[in-house]
Structure 1
Amino acid sequence: MEPHWKEIIPGDQYIVSIDGMQNIGDNKVLTLLYQPLIGPVCISLYFTLLNQVEDGKLETEPASHYYLMNLLDLNLSQIYEARQKLEAIGLMETYMKENEDLRSFIYVMKPPLSPKQFFTDGLLNIYLYQKVGRDYYNRLKQTFANKVIDKTGFDKITKGFQDVFSSSHFPYHDQIDEHDLTVKYPTKEIPETIMVQPPHFDFDLFLAGLNESVIPKQAITTEVKDVIIKLAFLYEIDAIQMKNILYSAINEQNQIDIEALRKAARDWYTIEHYSSLPKLVDRTQSPIYYANIDVPKTQEERLIRYLETVSPRQLLIDLSEGSEPLESDLRLIEEIMVKLNLTPGVVNVLIQYCMLRTDMKLTKSFVERIASHWSRKKVKTVTEAMELAKSEHRKYVDWQKQQKEIKSSPRKTTRTTRQEPVPDWLKNGGQTKQVEVDENFDFEAEKKKLEERLKKYKK
């Protein structure tokens, strides 16, 4: 993800456009259902942009982002991050036109899903359930539930249009202007559900692996395909596992039972992840946690920028010279980000530090212990994580030594004392300690290998 200053500056102009009028119920949906997922800053930006459109109009006059920054009392990186989340969740579309010295944006505000659409979405409702908990989730469902009035015993006596009105025919000499009949007025737009495309899920491969004698191709309707893709993204299910899940959701009519499919996917996930449900987390570091570096100049500043803008998964791939990371490593990183609420940039520093300390492996106990410490310290930025690693390096070495002593066998072995490698940024203030390590392990070679890998990071 590009830094915000490459995508937008305060002087850039924007116009807000709406496809249709919103109703009063949308405000309640946004506040109670969307806000727990994307946060109050996003909702504030949404309402601020929407309310700039005057009643009866479909768009605003051009304004600068500097004006928007003053309205919201936010910096541009916060506005840019909130805008991206609104786009991702389907509440906003952004269009850009760039001239030589002028960049203009059109922000098209989209209506939220209806309560029925939201609670049957299969994606947003799961994230909301995990965010607010079972009891409050059920209260929210009751808040938006509409009871159908029982009309039993009543007769319908509603008059039809032709019963009340008639059409009179009198001479009319003025010519009707077709433009008067076709002018566009604000109308309520039908909200669209979120479309996702999980990068790890190959739908064509999934279809190719299906046994048509068990599941005919006509059973994979547009609705079923949409549900499958959402479930694959939500629970990180690959094509092979999804095939097995789909087999359990086929009914006697050789059709896919949508609810059975969702339940089977949830059951699979809860078994794999110990009865938990997925949370909605950012893929990369939020711009609000970026270091105040306009143009990285030193090696350390370029490394900080890289760790801020790359995802933990991509970092593991880069450190492995393009190889896919182990499933166990990805699961460990996922648990740390979700359970301990660490930001992606902080997790990237943790990965780099721990892999160099443990022979390019992620040792679960060592990683989790440091991650817990950083979580308690409420570390949010890459620079904070680096500084804490420097100041607490001696403690972490002692932790590692204790773990080695616990796991080591009673028999005596020939050992030698050598200084273990650390990242270059740790040397500028971190204190090292001589610890016992295996003589056969060439730490300097491993350190050089890691440095070569990190030269490939994005600028």
Structure 2
Amino acid sequence: MMKKHWNEIQPIDHYSVKTNGIVHEYDKKVITLLYQPLIGAACYSLYMTLFTEVEENKLWSGESTHYHLMNFLSLNLQSIYEARLKLEGIGLLKTFQKTEDDKRIFIYELQRPLSPDEFFYDGMLNVYLYRKIGKSHFTRLKHFFTDSKINQGQFSEITRSFQDVYTSTSEQNVDFLHHEANIASKTDEKSQYIYQAKGKGVELDDVNFDFSLLLSGLSESMVPRKAFTNKVKETVLKLSYLYGIDPIQMKNVILSSLTADDSIDIEVLRKSARDWYQLQTGDVLPELTPHLSTKGNEKEKNEPLTKEGELIEYLESTSPKDVLSDISNGGKPSKADMQAVEEVLMTQKLSIGVMNVLIQYVLLKTDMKLTKGYMEKIASHWKRKKVTTAKEAMELAKKEHKQYLEWAQGKDGKQPSGSRRKPIRTEKLPDWFTEEDKSSKVKPSKDQSNLNFEEEKRKLEEELKNFRK
């Protein structure tokens, strides 16, 4: 499981999209046919959606919120966050962030993909793609991105030069015109010319590969230091990551790729690394998989979540739209309900988990009506209390239940009624906040409290089963 998004991104956070140069239709074909099998449909949809937000022949989009992305892609924030990380890792996206006046703003800079020849000669991405789609489809894709080659050696070039075709006439004010043209060509500090950038592909760092250890095992007489060009170092990093070759093992791979003039042949280097890997593992090629996260997440993975933990994870990772739909047994939320949720979410800047707890609480306490004024009042209170997680919201809702009940009664202008009308529909709602109105003021005994706790626990477990269905 990847790192949770809760502290990294929220629906109310704003973003703008920038393209690192013009992205052409041909680049889209490369992303669709070569990158999509590696990154998956969610990443592909996110990239294309962000790209579409930038107008044609422009570099920047307008500003939007991540809530817009959640609705547009029909994905929860955790899925969008994970898709973003995968795009960053494979070199298709760079992310920048700043915070001003408690407002978090992101810039998503889309990167051009590698050209087809760069991809197929990458030495890492092409191997992962071959492993993913197989030889037959890989060969078909190679033919799609290649064309016949004409032998131009049999032809003589007869192209005329600029001076052969054009002449420059003399003007009296040529110096003045030259100066004026140069001044007029300059851009101001707030603008730039639209440009076409080159795809950089996957950028690997050398944090997990010790070059000093590798070089210490290779004396200057064996391999000159000048042989380690930037291209060679980049290839060594890729091969180390791809095949799991450590610096000591890499020494023999490099020695087998030396040429007569003491340089390193990159193609031979790749073949030597591939031969080493096949000796270790057979003919099974390595597969591209998302990187497993920190020890804390490994602990989460090994230890099953409690029932309450499952509910909290559901509330933290599900969009408000889907929560409303689950409550209505799969029914589509009304436009008025979604507008109310959207306005409260944006004005109070609540996290996704807190908003979902608020939706469930308000629906239960207002006879399944999503009352906007009541929502805003509780949301404002939670914001002042600095509530940021679903668990904190649940605990505060229980603690302040009587106060919130008075707010609801004050809005309706009615006295508490022991026989409140039940909703017609049978919505699925967790019972973490259920408190039946008591006509009697008698304080329950300790034994009765224990019985109530067990009953609430049983209801919660039953509701979680319903949620998982």
TM-score scaled to structure 2, two decimals? 0.58
- CA-atom RMSD in angstroms: 3.1
- Residue 80 of structure 1 deviates from its aligned partner by 0.9
2:194 corresponds, among 176, 186, 190, to 186
User: Structure with the greater relative contact order (CA < 8 A, sep ≥ 6): 1 or 2?
Assistant: 2
1:271 maps to 2:279: yes
Cross-structure match for 1:32: 33
- Residue 13 of structure 1 deviates from its aligned partner by 0.5
- 8 A contact 2:224–2:262 mirrored in 1: yes
Cross-structure match for 1:206: 214
- 8 A contact 1:249–1:256 mirrored in 2: yes
Cross-structure match for 2:385: none
- Residue 122 of structure 1 deviates from its aligned partner by 1.1
Count of residues in correspondence between the two structures? 299
Cross-structure match for 1:404: none
Counterpart of 2:54 in 1: which secondary structure? coil
- Residue 100 of structure 1 deviates from its aligned partner by 4.1
Matches within 5 A, 1:30-429: 30-151=31-152, 153-170=154-171, 176=180, 178=182, 180-183=184-187, 184-197=192-205, 200-284=208-292, 301=309
TM-score scaled to structure 1, two decimals? 0.60
- 8 A contact 1:96–1:103 mirrored in 2: yes
Counterpart of 1:4 in 2: which secondary structure? coil
Cross-structure match for 1:435: none
Structure 1 counterpart of 2:261, one-letter code: Q
Cross-structure match for 1:438: none
Deviates more, 1:106-115 or 1:146-155: 146-155
Find the aligned partners of 2:202 and 2:172 in 1 and give their Cα distance.
53
Structure 1 counterpart of 2:11, one-letter code: P
Find the aligned partners of 1:54 and 1:259 in 2 and give their Cα distance.
41
- 8 A contact 1:197–1:233 mirrored in 2: no
Q: Deviations over 1:419-447 (max 9, x none)?
A: xxxxxxxxxxxxxxxxxxxxxxxxxxxxx
Counterpart of 1:96 in 2: which secondary structure? strand
- 8 A contact 1:198–1:233 mirrored in 2: no
Give unmatched runs, 5+ long, in structure 2.
Answer: 314-469
- Residue 191 of structure 1 deviates from its aligned partner by 1.4
Structure 2 counterpart of 1:43, one-letter code: Y
Cross-structure match for 1:444: none
Find the aligned partners of 2:293 and 2:104 in 1 and give their Cα distance.
25
Find the aligned partners of 1:249 and 1:153 in 2 and give their Cα distance.
35
Give unmatched runs, 5+ long, in structure 1.
Answer: 306-459
Structure 1 counterpart of 2:42, one-letter code: V
- Residue 201 of structure 1 deviates from its aligned partner by 2.4
- 8 A contact 2:14–2:105 mirrored in 1: yes
Find the aligned partners of 2:78 and 2:183 in 1 and give their Cα distance.
44
Counterpart of 1:157 in 2: which secondary structure? coil
Find the aligned partners of 2:308 and 2:278 in 1 and give their Cα distance.
41
- Residue 152 of structure 1 deviates from its aligned partner by 5.0
Q: Say if 1:60 and 1:208 are closer, same or farther in 2 by CA, change over 3 A.
A: same
- Residue 217 of structure 1 deviates from its aligned partner by 1.6
Find the aligned partners of 1:155 and 1:226 in 2 and give their Cα distance.
38
- Residue 199 of structure 1 deviates from its aligned partner by 5.0
Find the aligned partners of 2:269 and 2:15 in 1 and give their Cα distance.
43
Q: Say if 1:100 and 1:185 are closer, same or farther in 2 by CA, change over 3 A.
A: closer
* Largest Rg, 1 or 2: 2
- Residue 164 of structure 1 deviates from its aligned partner by 3.1
Find the aligned partners of 1:234 and 1:141 in 2 and give their Cα distance.
21
Q: Say if 1:265 and 1:94 are closer, same or farther in 2 by CA, change over 3 A.
A: same
Structure 1 counterpart of 2:259, one-letter code: N
- 8 A contact 2:87–2:93 mirrored in 1: yes
Counterpart of 2:94 in 1: which secondary structure? strand
Q: Deviations over 1:30-66 (max 9, x none)?
A: 1111011101211111111112111232211211111
- Residue 3 of structure 1 deviates from its aligned partner by 1.2
- Residue 103 of structure 1 deviates from its aligned partner by 0.2
Q: Deviations over 1:277-325 (max 9, x none)?
A: 1000112279xx99x9xxx9979949x99xxxxxxxxxxxxxxxxxxxx
- Residue 198 of structure 1 deviates from its aligned partner by 5.9
Q: Say if 1:41 and 1:2 are closer, same or farther in 2 by CA, change over 3 A.
A: closer
- Sequence identity (%): 45
